Structure 1
Amino acid sequence: MADSTKSKAAWYAAYPVARTQNPAAIDRAQVLQLIKESTGGPQSYVLVDLRRTDHEGGTIRGSINLPAQSLFPSIPTLYAIFKAAGVEKVIWYCGSSKGRGTRGAAWFADHIENEKDDRMQSLVLTEGVRGWATTGEEYTAFMDEYEKNVWEKSE
């Protein structure tokens, strides 16, 4: 019989702790401005949604979904792709950006530092997608697959 009292290690325990302990942050108003300024033109930023099983209710328009559990080994490849595309800001988020978003931003900031890249920034979106989705129509208008009822029950 299995012992159900044993706790399973956190998914991130298999990876190193980031040197960057407090990654730089960006607030939703700044991100909204970036989105509005780049509509129809080239983007100097990329939004990365790190949710996996809780990826419901919509995502910020134009985001790519890379579940945090598979992120760490992909960082060198992501960096190369973002660098080749001229990305200057990589903006990470999850539900609240207090766990996965911060961890992803920190790991990526470490990689940028290792590359001695002074142009690219790794930023965590303050308050994550929940903060974005519950602030008002100005923000939800810039969401893909937005489902109001999901955000109402999570408040």
Structure 2
Amino acid sequence: MAPTDEPKNEPQFPWHAAYPAPKSEAVTISREEVLQMMKRSSGKGQDEQGAKMDFVLVDLRRNDFEGGTIRGSINLPAQSLHPTLPTVYSMFKSAGVRQVIWYCGSSRGRGSRAAGWLADYLQTVGDTTMKSLALLEGVRGWASAGEQYVEWMDEYDEAAWSKSG
């Protein structure tokens, strides 16, 4: 084995230790609220048929990205988020996004951290029109909440959810 191939005996730190902790506490949104927003924007809600979609769902999973994702979500692994926040914000702003809904498996780690980071950034730039929210209980809560939620998932794999306790 070449010297550069040898494992390093350095302590392993969590990926987020390289970035500052969010100053803002994560504000959560329930899956029921998100489902109603999705139905309205798709024209399947009881009110505001075909309402403009002014929110985005961001799935922060990377290594544990399995079992499906909430329909229409973009995948932006949390590990790459902090340094790209200005660019991510600019894209969302130019697209007319008013609510960014972050989630991971449970939204207690990556989801709440991302929601806090964007909330901090929104304060820094003085944006009071965009909200940064964490999906309560994450995709795991969504996938286990029943058929009305599962039908709003892409690439749903029941086996992946039954093995994740």
- Normalising by the smaller structure, the TM-score range is over 0.9
Residue 16 (structure 1) aligns with:
20
TM-score with structure 1 setting the length:
0.94
Residue 150 (structure 1) aligns with:
160
Larger Rg: 2
Give the secondary-structure state (helix, strand or coil) at the position aligned to 1:122: strand
How far apart in 2 are the matches of 1:59 and 1:140? 9
* Structure 2 residue 28 is the aligned partner of structure 1 residue 25: yes
Percent identity over the alignment is: 56
How far apart in 2 are the matches of 1:149 and 1:116? 44
Give the secondary-structure state (helix, strand or coil) at the position aligned to 1:91: strand
CA offset digits 1:57-98 (Å, max 9, x no partner):
000000000000000011101111111111100000000001
Q: Which 4+ residue blocks in structure 1 deviate beyond 6 angstroms? A: none
Count residues in correspondence.
153
TM-score with structure 2 setting the length:
0.88
Q: For structure 2, list consecutive stretches of 5 or more residues without a partner in the other structure.
A: 1-5, 44-49
2:61 partner letter: R
Give the secondary-structure state (helix, strand or coil) at the position aligned to 1:71: helix
Q: For structure 1, list consecutive stretches of 5 or more residues without a partner in the other structure.
A: none
Query: Which residue of 17, 22, 38 maps to 2:41?
Result: 38
How far apart in 2 are the matches of 1:60 and 1:72? 22
Alignment of 1:4-153 (within 5 A): 7-20=11-24, 22-39=25-42, 41=50, 42-153=52-163
The alpha-carbon deviation at position 153 of structure 1 amounts to 1.2
How far apart in 2 are the matches of 1:62 and 1:100? 19
The alpha-carbon deviation at position 23 of structure 1 amounts to 1.3
2:30 partner letter: D
The alpha-carbon deviation at position 7 of structure 1 amounts to 3.5
